[in-house]
Amino acid sequence: MAAVPVWSVDPRTGKRREQVAVEATAEEVDTAVRAAHAARGALADRAVRSAFLRTAAAGLEAARDGLIETADAETALGPVRLTGELARTGYQLRAFADIVDEGAFLDVVINHPDDTATPPIPDLRRYKVPLGVVAVYCASNFPFAFSVAGGDTASALAAGCPVVVKAHPDHPALSELVAKVLRRAAAEHGIPEGVVGLVHGFRAGIDLIEHPSVAAAGFTGSIRGGRALFDAAAARPVPIPFHGELGSLNPVLVTQAAAAERGEAIGVGLAGSMTLGVGQFCVKPGLVLVPSGAAGDGLVKALTDAVSDTEAGVLLDHRMRDDFIAGVAERAKLPDVDSPVTPGAGGEHSVSAGFLAVPAARLAEEGAYDQLLEECFGPVTVVARYADEDEAAGVLSRLPGNLTATVQLSAEEAAGQGRGAELLAELTPLAGRVVVNAWPTGVAVAPAQHHGGPYPATTSTSTSVGGTAIERWLRPVAYQNAPAALLPVELTDENPLGLPRRFNGVLER
């Protein structure tokens, strides 16, 4: 079979830039997975893999100019956005290095024997060990932070798991460059370069998830693609965990009091959030419940003015552009749907931002308007005008799982007067992150962060951002009555590594 070339394409023109690689065959996927599997032992020393992560961060920063130039040529996201994203990626790598150094992620628990307990407790010692090779599927819209050196890779390496990355076709040249940086960093610490594998091609993604030596997978992308891989992971002779981020509408509820108090500011903020990155953020607000009446009118006017001033932008590839134009056109044809600012084609290779408006009552019942409750990737949102609280609640009750849900409250409601707490409780079942008086775009890399949510936002209850993302690639194991001379050093009474642990019920730091 002839090799299938992998091309780097400029989304601003639709023209090929260069051939980067060829699509990986099943044999080449097997070679990459075997090399990663063989590199597991080199990650066993926490000090080594912590140093590796820090060196990788420094290497990305040292190569910044070339990386950003290539990323911009392949994604059209712009140097300012990409510079910030690369800085975030370096910070994330160092944050996981700190987690590795601290050691709390090992979750060490030791119980000495207790014959007085019912039933008696034997000597038990528990901690977490790495799963093995992790398959990472890159996102289109974050060529650094959710790609070859992104959160899935960083957290997997921190856990002690080698990775094989399936590159995204929208930035193959950048993927190759970043993989080289990571491999150089690995070599500096005596780690085989195979600890970070890279493959291209749709079929390679299927071969990867089906490989018997792959122990888990992380994915960021579409519902259709993610669900296919999720099903493949479950259908294996030995099923594996699949942590997929698939899609999210990210609803926003604006209360009557909030719209009356600061409707103009909310409208301007919404415009900035929904058009950020040409609407290509996974946490873009795609549905906004706004009260009917004068207060809501002021918000919609401010939104109209702000979105009208937004320049046309280039999406990540022409397929996404075609899907966006077709999707908004189909939605706009529905009865009672208006386009105060019409989204669609902004030029031969670009799109223009806009929003659709519809009575919330249309969305409260199943039917032709269900499409408005589905994510549309690009700079568009749906403004649903509700007549009363029950109508708004009826729409929220129909929504699937989301990454985020946002509520805009008045000052009094935020202070505990009114239904503020009740609204938070209503939104909590819908999303993994509930935002109050802010906007969901912008996902901070922080210990308390949660970037996940009920299906279809994600296929598991874990997060792909923040320190606890490392937990996806670990499993607990307990040793019972194991002689001290045979125990892993992490589980000895003496605790020579100074690990945080729970020792006979007492938390030791």
DSSP string, 376-436: --SSEEEEEEESSHHHHHHHHTT---EEEEEEE--HHHHTT-SSHHHHHHHHGGGEEEEEE
* CA–CA gap between residue 262 and residue 379 (Å, rounded): 23
* CA–CA gap between residue 390 and residue 427 (Å, rounded): 14
Half-sphere exposure of 498 (CA within 13 A, CB side): 3
* CA–CA gap between residue 507 and residue 509 (Å, rounded): 7
* CA–CA gap between residue 444 and residue 433 (Å, rounded): 12
**What are the residues whose beta carbons fall under 8 Å from the beta carbon of 290, sequence distance 6 or more?**
254, 259, 296, 299, 300, 383, 384, 385, 386
Q: Which helix (H) or strand (E) holds 197?
A: strand 196-199
CB 138 within 8 A of CB 456: no
- In this structure, the number of other CB atoms found within 10 A of the CB of residue 65 comes to 10
Angle of CA points 430, 244, 130, to nearest 5°: 120
List 74, 245, 375, 426, catalytic entry = 245
Q: What 3-state DSSP class applies to 303?
A: helix
Helices (runs of H) and strands (runs of E) counted in the chain: 15, 21
* CA–CA gap between residue 53 and residue 93 (Å, rounded): 6
On the 0-12 / 13-18 / 19+ scale of CB atoms within 10 A, 379 is: buried
List 176, 282, 426, 490, catalytic entry = 282
* CA–CA gap between residue 389 and residue 422 (Å, rounded): 12
Q: Does 245 participate in catalysis according to the annotation?
A: yes
Q: What 3-state DSSP class applies to 29?
A: helix
Q: Does 376 participate in catalysis according to the annotation?
A: no
- In this structure, the number of other CB atoms found within 10 A of the CB of residue 2 comes to 5
* CA–CA gap between residue 58 and residue 45 (Å, rounded): 20
* CA–CA gap between residue 34 and residue 214 (Å, rounded): 9
On the 0-12 / 13-18 / 19+ scale of CB atoms within 10 A, 479 is: middle
What torsion do the CA atoms of 223, 226, 228, 229 make, to the nearest 10 degrees? -170
| Positions marked active-site | 245, 282
